[in-house]
Chains A and B, each alone.
Chain A
Amino acid sequence: MTDLTALTIAEARDQLKSKAFSARELTDAYLTAIDAANPAFNAYIAVTHDKARAMATASDEKLARGEGGALEGIPLGVKDLFATEGVHTQACSHILDGFKPRYESTVTANLWADGAVMLGKLNMDEFAMGSSNETSYYGPVINPWRAKGSNADLVPGGSSGGSAAAVSAWLCAGATATDTGGSIRQPAAFTGTVGIKPTYGRVSRWGTVAFASSLDQAGPIARDVRDAAIMLKSMASVDAKDTTSVDMAVPDYEAAIGRSVKGMRIGIPKEYRVEGMPEEIEALWQKGIAWLKDAGAEIVDISLPHTKYALPAYYIVAPAEASSNLARYDGVRYGLRVQGKDIAEMYENTRAAGFGREVKRRIMIGTYVLSAGYYDAYYLQAQKVRTLIKRDFEEAFANGIDVILTPATPSAAFGVADKEMAADPVKMYLNDIFTVTVNMAGLPGIAVPAGLDARGLPLGLQLIGRPFDEETLFQTAAVIEQAAGRFKPEKWW
């Protein structure tokens, strides 16, 4: 039998239906691969062998009766941010020590209802705060990609680093992820995978550990554009439990793949040409432009003048929201408790021991910018700038732009324990310079692999769409994928 883990979701789905193999065989192939390779990557922080086998067996029973959902028998990994009933859910933080929810997040409930199989929980930056997966309480994740002729460990990006690494290393067919400032798209770009952050409100946030509530959106990381479309169809829903969940039927995203982009107007924003950006990123961008032009699209230069203010505004808004959301971790209701002489000291000791450095840093920034006397200068100013960032996009779309093409990241994957990044938090934050605008404006964005750099590391392009127009993103990303080809790491593990 060929290696079942090499199949895409679409291929596995069709072959499960035709009974070329069973769901149990497919799940066992993944569990074997995880048991053998996970020590090299640290992508999974909990593997749910028994649950996976039981779910796969149930899928086989359904498939035998000619039944089954859109993801029947497809083995998936789940980012540790999603509440999974009775299973490790800690946002990769020490403060949620031992937490096993008594409920299931809407996203994962949707996937299981469609027949998907849970392989386990995936590593991530603590509370999704990070761009390298190095802030996890469970240690860094290793990127399956290595530079040519080197065996140095690279980061898979973050915060969804475990999701991206597991998909890229064939340790799950697809994975759930979340994106607050780039946490789906940057790791997808670093690992040669496809990741989409949907429009704010498209995917329910219920049961997903909150970081910054006005920015957080869940989405898939997958091996190709079609798989990402299949997964998003299942993850998205209208959910009464999330008041920001939008009342719109979920389209059949897969149907958008293969549609022509002829006549489509592609915006190229000049502000994404940033100082110090490697030549290779610019060259990749030009290649993407040429591919879409060849496919019949019209290329239009546009301006999004407030782009450079998105990242600083984000580093006020996101920490402010995080400082409120993370106030709930007090050593009383769940997770870790460290005793103190009174209740206040118990809170302070618990939070000092339970949160990592980056999380504390963001809580402190958030607390400061919301504190008396500083609210107007920082938070109110940032929210006004956010209005302007969104307006830039609205004007571009009002002028007939259908989709915007940009690089996904300002560089390829960097080394684990990079000294410059560790010394300067702002340098790490700059990883999200091309992705964060999309969260600030609530828009959908997809990262699609488009080439390799001189060292043989994957680079991605980003497409940004109109609100709730994920279909156009899949349609356009599929054209880029077709032209660029698919990228796989050399197996060293």
Chain B
Amino acid sequence: MSVDIQTVKRVAHLARIAVSEDDAQRMTGELNAILGFVEQLNEVDVSGVEPMTSVTPMAMKKRQDVVNDGSKAADIVANAPATDENFFLVPKVVE
């Protein structure tokens, strides 16, 4: 399978990465090189094989259902580019 420039632009939008016409052109070639490389996986007979979901056989640990952390609003917003009274500020979303 290979991608065309329109697909690259659509995927870039899905990934929320702005791309110029030149970027999209270059990425099309790069992505096709990588997709060409991974194509060989189709040779493998995987009939009856379960997809891997966990690399080590373990039951996922569950935390105690208790409050053991919190009241750190100031820490949480400390690294944000724009905040107001412990809220993250974003451009207007709803008119």
- Residues of A at the B interface (CB closer than 8 Å) are 98-103, 199-201, 214-215, 240, 243-247, 306, 308-309, 312-313, 315-316, 323, 327, 330-337, 339-340, 342-349, 351-352, 355, 360-361, 363-365, 367-368, 371, 374, 377-378, 380-388, 390, 424-426, 429, 440-442, 467
Contacts and interface: CB of A to CB of B under 8 A. Distances in A.
Interface string B1-31: 1010001100111111111000000010011
Contact of B19 (A240, A352, A381): A352
Interface of B: 1, 3, 7-8, 11-19, 27, 30-31, 33-35, 37-42, 44, 46, 49-56, 58, 60-63, 72, 75-82, 88, 90-93
Given A361-B30, A364-B31, A426-B37, A390 B52 contact: yes
A103 B3 CA distance: 42
A364 B56 contact: no
B79 A100 contact: yes
Contact of A383 (B11, B39, B52): B52
A493 B15 CA distance: 43
Contact of A368 (B31, B33, B52, B90): B31
Contact of B17 (A364, A388, A440): A364
Nearest to B51: A383
Given A333-B88, A337-B82, A385-B46, A102 B41 contact: no
A68 B37 CA distance: 52
B55 A378 contact: no
A343 B94 CA distance: 10
Contacts of A364: 8, 11-12, 15, 17, 27, 31
Contact of A351 (B16, B39, B44): B16
Given A200-B56, A364-B17, A365-B31, A312 B41 contact: yes
A308 B40 CA distance: 9
Given A309-B41, A351-B18, A388 B56 contact: no
Contact of B18 (A102, A199, A349): A349
Contacts of B17: 348, 351-352, 355, 360, 363-364
B45 to A, nearest CB: 9
Nearest to A306: B44
Contacts of A308: 40
